[in-house]
Structure 1
Amino acid sequence: MKLLVVEDNHALVANLFAYFEARGHVLDAAPDGVTGLRLAADNRYDAVVLDWMLPRMDGVSLLQALRHSVGKDVPVLMLTARAETADKVEALHGGADDYLVKPFDLAELEARLLAQVRRASGRVADTRLQVCDLVLDLRKAEVTRADRPISLQPATRRLLEVLMRASPALVPRDRLEDALWGDDPPDRDLLRSQMHLLRRAIDAPFACKLLHTVARVGYRLAAMQGSDDGEDE
């Protein structure tokens, strides 16, 4: 991996360089947010490790600028001492792909970054997914069915992407939960509510139902005959 580390703790940066370079990765470092944003905008990285509290520009502001002003979709892992749930929510809603609280294990950080890079490479490979007359344009973040636009929130659209990539195979619940919440899933009712929103958006106005529930196991997106098209138990 080629990584950008945006962190003002020099001792931590030295530890990251020693560990990751010994394992064959290439790293750049920025000691403040402004420099980090410039490097992220001007170079191609597999992932960015981003501290929250930074000189000149904080991590969340950098992340928002990177996503919205610069338009970069490089995976970003927030690495910070801020452990409150509200902080995690703010970072993830701001565009972070993962969140790791200091102190942390270097092997876990590497594993999380590799997972994000794998996911990102899969997203880049296919920018237009289609199942029957349902189309998801990943580049434009647009969904249509029978050429009719469908409005989905980002979380629901992410679930649709996972289901479309797997179609017509069954997708287990834990895989869908991992796609949205990683290693910290909420109770199962929240997944069920997201699937209800997705079913209402892509199936309710159409005669042919594509989203199917396999009770207590998972979901399948496909045109099927004689299947259970109802809500989850």
Structure 2
Amino acid sequence: MADIPNPHALWEHNFIQQMKRLREARKMTQTDLARELKAFGLPFHQQTVQRVENGERPVRLNEAHLIAKVLGTDLLSMGASSTPSDHELRYSVDRLRATSELQADTLLDLYKDWREDIESLVFALADRVPATAKSVDSLDHGAAWGMVWAMKALRAYEDHLAAWQGLVGLGHHERAFVDLEDPAAGTDQNWPLPDVLATLQSWRERFGNDQMARAVSMNPREVYESFSSGRDQDMEG
């Protein structure tokens, strides 16, 4: 990078250093950054980013704002002076935030496939659950066995959602959170809710007694051992 010609160039020097550091922390190539900036209307190419990072091209104010936005920070932070120790700390935090965002995206992709299986289970179980049933004891053995798996799925879904929201809270981009107490109130396009969630929650209210709580905490083998006899008789009949 070219030498800083005068004290007034310190801000741009800091900005350029931060730009490269944050880009690398997010595992973005110069081409990746140029592509995202182009989506905001800036005529950036890989060579443009390279010239900026090499100090060969000045950064315009509107460009600086958008570069900071894409890199998940603000203009003030990008231009601030810092010691080597500060750089190391900021780099560690930025790496954590970047990888957390990647993990959130991975978790979301896995969830989208998994929720179809949750819905399939609920649809299969719905015909076995009488509208008048108020407790697990009022279900036939096969339905009780299926209900345990439905409640285990609901708990896993909520754990999955909480983990995703925790990662999003560490990441760079702001996303709407889903209220675990009232999921529909906080729905956003990033975390699509299963259509059957209300059914699962109503079943938990009806069948969520101590017996069900213990069953939900069982490992798969224990579930099969506890419910297999009656389940097999129901399914054979």
Give the TM-score of the pair, scaled to structure 2: 0.33
- Larger RCO (CA within 8 A; separation ≥ 6): 2
Structure with a larger share of its residues in strand? 1
- The structure where helix makes up a greater share of residues is 2
Computing the radius of gyration from Cα coordinates, the structure with the larger value is 2
